[in-house]
A = this chain, B = another copy of it.
Amino acid sequence: MNVEKILKTDKKIPLERRTIIHFSLVHNKISDTANAALRPFGVSIQQFNVLRILRGQKGRPANLSTLNERMVTKMSNTTRLVDKLILKGLVDRKVCPSNRRKVEIRITEEGEKMLLQMDKAMEQAENEILANLDRDDLTKLNALLDKF
């Protein structure tokens, strides 16, 4: 991925700015690929992440604050994201009996089943995205990302 070529410019960009632009370009590529992998299932990356969090709860229900805490991208609007998943029958939600301010959100059986399929698609997408990076590259990249 050549930044200057993509931006169709020939003047050299300061390293700092170039890094940030480069970062955005890679991010776009990653999210395009991930979105394409999930398209057949009709869910967004965010929705997929919520399903994974719910599976990680192993039967215990999650409430909205928990989801928000653990989501990669914080949304102001987790209620409506969950609404979408309910509409698709992948999760259910009810009022928490012990504290009626809270809700209890769980992944359904159908959600679990479909999530297994999504996992496969996403793993393939991951491999596609990282095709040119070996383990050593990944380790180094993670170390650099830790500095942000």
Neighbouring B residues of A137 by C-beta, 8 Å: 144, 147
Assembly stoichiometry (copies): 2
Q: Which of the residues B20, B34, B56, B142 comes within 8 Å of A19, measured between beta carbons?
A: B142
The contact size tier of chain A is 35 or more
A24 CA to B135 CA in the complex, in Å? 19
Given contacts A69-B8, A140-B144, A148-B1, contact A20 B15 (CB under 8 A): no
> Does chain B have a CB within 8 A of A145?
yes
Q: A38-60 interface mask toward B, CB cutoff 8 Å, 1 = contact, 0 = none? A: 00000000000000000010000
Chain A residues touching B, majority SS: helix
A12 CB → nearest B CB, Å: 12
Q: Which residues of A contact B (CB under 8 A)?
A: 1-2, 7-9, 15-30, 34, 56, 69-70, 72-74, 126-127, 129-130, 132-133, 135, 137-142, 144-148
